[in-house]
Structure 1
Amino acid sequence: MTTPLLDTFGAVKRLDIHFDDLDPVGVVHNARYAILLERAISLFWHEHGMSFVDSRPSDPDMVAVVREFAITFLAPIRSTGPIDVHFWLDKLGTSSAVYGFRFLSVDHDTAYAEGRRVMVKIDPQTGQPSPWSEQANAIGSTLLR
């Protein structure tokens, strides 16, 4: 681990690991990490007024796609119950956002995984990259490392 587990940047969201997150050998299945990260980041944006209502984005800034997802597994999560997801922005571009993230034990003594995720905001009509709004930039800037 290249940085301390307790930092003052980004956000930390507590999520629960459920029995159906575990694979046949009793650890969180590797594919579940992307979903858990999505839930943590979505919760942050929902708390700032950006979510999905009636299956539609509440704001144009919610129309974004994952361009890149990379994860390094450091230790298995072997049980159900709470974990913390620490995430931040390494870069906030005109139409992209580069997230860093870590999956941590609740006491932050164990890092289970770390990685990065690159998002690109797109225009829903054209599918082409589109600039973030001033509001998204202001909210996103609170996550900058």
Structure 2
Amino acid sequence: MSTHSFGTAETPTGSPDAPLFVASLGVRWRDLDAFNHVNNSNYLTYLEEARLQWLSHVPGPWFDEHAMPVMAASQVNYRRPIAWPAQLQVQLFCERMGNTSMTLAHRVIDAERTDTLYCDGNVVMVWMDPTTGKPVPLPEAIRRAVE
């Protein structure tokens, strides 16, 4: 599988068979904690990296001086510890699309043993005007990217 793939609008939301985007990431030695597995805070870093990789592949402008995404909420369900060394796949799915926000579901799995689920959950991204702090409509590029 390539490191990036895109689904279609006909795909059921949150379907593990057709992610919106897949990022491949390696576990770093520095990600480990005293229990010799990935510290829970690093899961959020992996999810952030996957979102940024996805956004960098969205054709068209998805931010400007009046519309930038911020994370409004996150839910991470830790299913099993990640040991080093490991290669991960972070799968992103569009769970919900609103007027000013979108909910991206995620799954972190082992790249070699894809039936090994490390975590799942979702994040809510809101597009805001940084000068006013107010929500703004989702950019058309984002809407097209999830169709």
Please report the TM-score for the alignment, with normalisation by the length of structure 2.
Answer: 0.81
SS in 1 for 2:143: helix
* Cα deviations by residue, 1:55-99 (Å, 9 ceiling, x for unpaired): xxx832871111111111111101123100011111111110111
**Alignment length (residue pairs):** 131
The 1:9/1:36 distance shift into structure 2, 3 A limit, reads closer
Higher alpha-carbon deviation: 108-117 or 60-69: 60-69
Residue of structure 2 equivalent to 1:36: 46
SS of corresponding position for 1:138: helix
Q: Quick one: distance in 1 between partners of 2:19 and 2:102?
A: 16
Structure 1 segment 1-145 matched on structure 2, within 5 A: 7-48=17-58, 59-60=63-64, 63-106=68-111, 107-139=113-145, 141-142=146-147
Letter in 2 for 1:46: S
8 Å CA contact 1:6–1:108 kept in 2: the answer is: no
- TM-score of the aligned structures, taking structure 1 as reference length: 0.82
User: CA offsets, 1:6-57, max 9 Å, x none?
Assistant: 5123221111110011111111100011111000110011122579xxxxxx
Tell whether the 8 Å contact from 2:59 to 2:141 is kept in structure 1 after alignment: no
- Structure 2: gaps spanning 5 or more residues: 1-14
Q: CA RMSD in A?
A: 2.1
Q: Deviations over 1:103-133 (max 9, x none)?
A: 1011312000111111111012101100012
SS of residue paired to 2:43: helix
Conserved? CA contact 2:67–2:130, under 8 Å: no
What is the one-letter code of the residue matched to 1:88? F
Distance in 1 separating the partners of 2:57 and 2:141 = 14
Q: What is aligned with 1:54? A: none
Question: For the residues of structure 2 that align with 1:88 and 1:14, how far apart are their CA atoms?
Answer: 15
Q: Structure 1's 82 and 92: CA in aligned 2 closer, same or farther, altered over 3 A?
A: same
SS in structure 1 of the partner of residue 94 of structure 2: strand
